[in-house]
Amino acid sequence: MESNFSFGKLGIKNIFKKDTKFTNKCKICGLTFSAPERTKIHMMKAHSKPKREK
């Protein structure tokens, strides 16, 4: 009994790949930007560091 369903290398990679799509609005602080690339830069600079303790 053979199955017609087969996993190729691309199929397995697509299952486990997390695809993040950036929009023009930051999901954390709500700022809006002119381009998704600018939002990506903002996320790395502003939200990647742990918060400072006061």
Burial 32-42 (b: 16+ CB within 10 A, else e): ebeeeeebeeb
The answer to the question of residue 1 being in a domain is: no
Query: What predicted TM-score, i.e. pTM, was given to this entire model?
Result: 0.54
> What confidence score (pLDDT) does residue 22 get?
80
Please give the tally of structural domains in the chain. 1
Give the domain range for residue 42.
20-49
Higher pLDDT, 39 or 8: 39
pLDDT band at 8 (very low <50, low <70, confident <90, very high): low
The answer to the question of residue 29 being in a domain is: yes
Question: In the predicted model, is pLDDT for residue 34 greater than 90?
Answer: yes
Mean pLDDT of the region 31-37: 93
The answer to the question of residue 25 being in a domain is: yes
pLDDT band at 45 (very low <50, low <70, confident <90, very high): very high
Q: Which 3 state secondary structure label does DSSP give 28?
A: coil
